[in-house]
A and B are shown apart, each in its own frame.
Chain A
């Protein structure tokens, strides 16, 4: 039974989407209960709270679920606006932040997945797409310390969880992100100095081992 005012987060393993919610909650200093889901054996709570997709992350607040990681981060930002605002207040910069966060989902995520799942020519195309998407983000970053400008913001939260997966992409794909996008790696290391990020991101070697297990399990090798 979930108490009304309690904040609960359902997440799983090395999901970068779950990490986004954790980072946002940590930035705001919100106490919450984290529940690890076994996606091979989904809990009744997950099935009740996200009946449409049965996916994590799910944030449960006042007993009601909020699904989809970027929607969750925006919700957190609106409900607790006083600490560490993540979205800019003016509509234009807010629109830009949403645009680039969506870009991470549309372009970075799908290309990155193809990098570790595919082989040969398909993998080469995936690598090219992945690096191209990171370069576009790097261009938007420019000389700013964060995507949010002087402060850590929405796009930073959207992208930084991928950093702990870079080692895996690089190992499977035989390339180095830093060689192509040095500014992005500087940005990532800057983010890692924030407790909300360093405490949340998974160990990159553990992520790699996790992917190897997954590939073995589903005979993707």
Chain B
């Protein structure tokens, strides 16, 4: 084992960590960003959305979804759980605050973000049929965004402060992906004059090198999101 060539050791390290993903998934990208921020080598395995591989079905029999992280043969599912696993297994460049209170607070905002993101996504991908219901859903989404802007982000550059943390990673799909949906559906949710701080956060987030270098191609994403918006209608 000792004296192993650098390339061999790196290949072995990479084989130890596998990520099952789908190229357009924002949840998969959360995991990619965390792995990259920590400098962890991994093997990426693309899974087909409508033809799920045996490996995926074996690794995540409960939900049958990506992302799944496989580390030393052990599968971990659900992006938020994977993020915490990565942070605990590779503690350098921590993604959560060290003290218990702020960690609990970060978890609260992650949980809040996850629920809000689901509502926001539904607004675009599963719109209500009735005009009144749609208006009510939009209002609810805007209220969540207001809370994000005022209570979570406040005057900070990132949700984590001066640098991105797990909270920013979780909210990451409000950039790029939400922007894509807004363009396709023709409905702007995070308007710069309504939510200036969150709008700024989106610009800053996309400029972080690890994020900038690890986003799906925007044009390709638009086409994919276009077909997603039509799925529900048919």
Question: A residues engaging B (CB < 8 A)?
Answer: 51-52, 61-62, 64, 66-68, 71-72, 74-75, 78-79, 91-92, 94-96, 98-99, 102-103, 136
Bound CA span A99–B65, Å: 13
Q: Tell me which residues across on chain A come within 8 A of B62, comparing CB atoms.
A: 99, 103, 136
Chain B interface helix/strand/loop/mixed = helix
Contacts of B218 in A (CB 8 A): none
Interface contact B111-A71, CB-CB below 8 Å: yes
Q: A75-B104, A99-B77, A136-B62 are in contact. Are A91 and B111 (CB under 8 A)?
A: no
Q: In the bound complex, how far is the Cα of B111 from the Cα of A219, in angstroms?
A: 32
Complex alpha-carbon distance, A178 and B159, angstroms? 46
CB distance B85 to A91 under 8 Å?
yes
B residues near A (Cβ < 8 Å) are 62, 71, 74, 76-78, 81-82, 84-85, 88-89, 100-101, 103-105, 107-108, 111-112, 147, 151
Cβ B85 vs Cβ A52 within 8 A: no
- Name the prevailing secondary structure of the A interface residues: helix
A56 → chain B, closest Cβ, in Å?
A: 14
**A64 CA / B100 CA spacing, docked (Å):** 11
| CB-defined contacts of A66 to chain B, threshold 8 Å | 101, 104-105, 108
- Indicate if the CB atoms of A99 and B151 lie closer than 8 Å: no
Number of interchain pairs (Cβ within 8 Å): 56
The complex places the Cα of A78 from the Cα of B99 at a distance, in Å, of 10
When the two chains form their complex, are residues B111 and A98 in contact, meaning their CB atoms are under 8 A apart? no
Could you say which residues of chain A place their CB within 8 Å of the CB of B88?
91, 94
The CA of A62 and the CA of B108, in the complex, are separated in Å by: 18
Nearest CB in chain A: distance from B66 CB, A? 15
Partner of B74, one of A51, A75, A92, A102: A92
- A91 neighbours in B (Cβ, 8 Å): 85, 88-89
Q: In the complex, how many angstroms separate the beta carbon of A135 from the nearest chain B beta carbon? A: 12
Report the Cα distance A207→B74, complex, angstroms: 40
**Bound Cα distance from A104 to B13, whole angstroms:** 34
Do the beta carbons of A79 and B100 come within 8 Å of each other?
A: yes
